[in-house]
Amino acid sequence: MSAVRIRRRLIAGLIVTATLLVGTGTPVAAAPLVLSSGHVDVIDVDYAAGALTVNVLDGTGSTSVERNPADVLFRVPNTAKITVPGTSAWSFLGTGGQAWVLPQSSTAGLLWAGWNTTEVPSGTFQNNRVTFKLTSVSGPAGFSVYTVSGGAPTVLFDSGNGLPDSLNVNYNTHAHANWGFDAAGTYAVTFEVTGKLASSGATVSSGARTFTFEVLS
């Protein structure tokens, strides 16, 4: 066999091999949908057909859409950076006197982040409530959720003082709060929602649901 024919066969074999490798490679995951401003219920709780579920209710467009948390990236721009008050009541928030906060009131250019249990039927759970549990936070610094009334904060969740943290939430609730991040970077925030069935006392769970926030410096 001539050298030219051998070389041609080698080239053809390499092309076929490369084609097979591309054709059988691991599929590339789709990029997450970035949400950066407008209304969003980060924790959207539903109960139907015996299942307690948690999704993201994306209200940033003209029509609200339920989304898998794994498919969403919440972006926190540098315009969310605030100066933290120096009193001890605010010691849970920020580093070096600064933090990034998605506020509890609607603010142009920022996400208005909250939660809802409006799809939980009355009488399903004991005391007509479910429990939100913040089970883990992975990120460059602390994460917190809090409300403010009369200038004073009430901390609902705070990764800086140990986890898990829990909050009882009544059915048919739609609420907003401040979502605080102590430094720029990417945070993976994991919640679980549980409830005790009124009919049997058995506990049902949504399972762990992780939400990703990108905080820009």
Contact 143, 189 (CB under 8 A): yes
- pTM, two decimals, is 0.86
Summarised one tens digit per residue, pLDDT across range 116-129 is: 999 999 999 999 99
* 136, pLDDT greater than 80: yes
Query: What share of the chain in percent tops pLDDT 70?
Result: 87
pLDDT band at 27 (very low <50, low <70, confident <90, very high): low
Summarised one tens digit per residue, pLDDT across range 153-184 is: 999 999 999 999 999 999 999 999 999 999 99
Please spell the DSSP secondary structure of 134-186, one letter per residue. Answer: EEEEESSS-EEEEEEETTEEEEEEEGGG-S-EEEEEETT-EEE-EEEESSSEE
Distance CA 186, CA 169 (A): 27
